[in-house]
Amino acid sequence: MMRIKNTLGIDIGGSSIKAGFLPGPRRRCLHFKARPTPKTTQAAWELLIDIIIDYCARYRVQTIGVGCPGPLDIKRGLIINPPNLPFKNFPFKQFLEQETLLPITIDNDANVFTLAEAILGAGKKYQNVIGLTLGTGVGGGIVINKKIYHGRGNAGELGYLLQNQSGPRGQLGENGALQEFIRAGVLIKNKKITVAALAREHNPRANKIWQEFGSHLGYALASISHIFDPDVIILGGQIAKAWPRFYSSLQKSLNKNCILPKTPIIKRAALGDSAGVIGAALLANLPYANS
């Protein structure tokens, strides 16, 4: 059983910075909050410090765990060059420990999402768990026997799974990556449809877009299944909230393209918007984290 300290969990995303407090052994998030992510390094850093000061004034925070989009150097605590954040080659862990005088643990945001779901959420009954976050970008995490699999440090960047060599060029120079077909901005821009129209249930054009989305995602999940053969794949993030609109086409595409004797179970995340925050807090209490 993991022993939990009084921990502040922070989930830094391209659209929002979320935070919450996990009080000791009670594995639930208190005082969850979300703020829009500023566009500049200085503004984002100042907001982060303000959030930490607020929680430390309310609670006896003993340690802080942070989830952040990759690529990262988690051993040195560096944010390298995430496409949707203002931090570039930023010594995040060092600076934050100097500011707070608290131990800081940092990992990929999709890793901490997957860790939370694997320990407390939709994957708690399984040992081999893949997580995908669908939103501003597409993140991925791999958890085996309740431990994040890092490879040499950055395993799990499933949003960069290459789908088509002639496909659209991404922000980091790659061609045809999964997220360039299914991330939120691409859905709206490439299909020339408004967010409101995409959300309407009885819009035939929107229904077609969601079916195409599900089919493409299911195709990608087949490739992921062939590599990892997981027990379960868990989908989270803002786009996953449209689950009823795309799930049937996703499952159909997965069943068609997966050659394994048994396709993995596909589940919607159980911990909602606080999954990344909870995972970051859990991470800060793991003995192997950032070691």
Residue 66 lies in a domain: yes
- Helix (H) or strand (E) holding 31, with range, is strand 30-36
Residue 194 tokens read as: 């408004």
pLDDT tens for the chain, 291 residues: list them. 567 789 999 999 888 999 999 987 656 777 899 999 999 999 999 999 999 999 999 999 999 999 998 889 988 999 998 877 888 899 999 999 999 999 999 999 999 999 999 999 999 999 999 999 998 789 999 999 999 999 998 899 998 899 877 777 877 678 888 888 888 777 766 666 665 667 677 778 888 889 999 999 999 999 999 999 999 999 999 899 999 999 999 999 999 999 999 999 999 999 999 999 999 999 998 865 554
182 with 244, same domain: the answer is: yes
279 with 257, same domain: the answer is: no
Query: Which CATH number goes with the domain that contains 187?
Result: 3.30.420.40
| Long-range CB pairs of 75-79, under 8 A, 24+ apart, other chains included | 75/153, 75/290, 77/104, 77/106, 77/290, 79/106
229 with 136, same domain: the answer is: yes
- C-alpha span between 178 and 137 (Å, rounded): 10
Max CA separation in the chain (angstroms): 55
96 with 142, same domain: the answer is: no
141 with 216, same domain: the answer is: yes
SS3 assignment, position 289: coil
73 with 132, same domain: the answer is: no
Residue 117 lies in a domain: no
Please answer whether residues 279 and 111 qualify as being in contact, where contact means their C-beta atoms are separated by less than 8 angstroms. Answer: yes
- C-alpha span between 138 and 116 (Å, rounded): 17
37: nearest Cα among 29, 27, 47, 50: 47
Residue 2 lies in a domain: no
The set of residues, in sequence order, having a beta carbon less than 8 Å from that of 241 and lying 6+ positions away, is: none
The set of residues, in sequence order, having a beta carbon less than 8 Å from that of 166 and lying 6+ positions away, is: 175, 176
176 with 54, same domain: the answer is: no
Q: What is the pLDDT of residue 195?
A: 58
Residue 290 lies in a domain: no
In terms of residue numbers, what domain contains 13?
7-112+273-283
17 with 29, same domain: the answer is: yes
Residue 37 tokens read as: 């992510």
160 with 228, same domain: the answer is: yes
DSSP for 116-175?
A: HHHHTSTTTT-SEEEEEEESSSEEEEEEETTEE--TTTTTT-GGG-B--TTS-B-TTS-B
242 with 183, same domain: the answer is: yes
Q: What is the pLDDT of residue 15?
A: 85
Q: What is the pLDDT of residue 111?
A: 97
Count of structural domains within the chain = 2
Q: What is the pLDDT of residue 235?
A: 98
Cα 9 vs. chain centroid, distance in angstroms?
14
Residue 174 lies in a domain: yes
The set of residues, in sequence order, having a beta carbon less than 8 Å from that of 272 and lying 6+ positions away, is: none
Helix boundaries (H) for the chain? 41-58, 92-100, 109-119, 179-182, 184-191, 195-199, 204-228, 243-257, 275-283
67 with 18, same domain: the answer is: yes
SS3 assignment, position 288: coil
Residue 118 lies in a domain: no
Residue 245 lies in a domain: yes
Place of tokens 């993030």: 237
Residue 1 lies in a domain: no
- C-alpha span between 224 and 148 (Å, rounded): 16
261 with 277, same domain: the answer is: no
Place of tokens 């768990």: 129
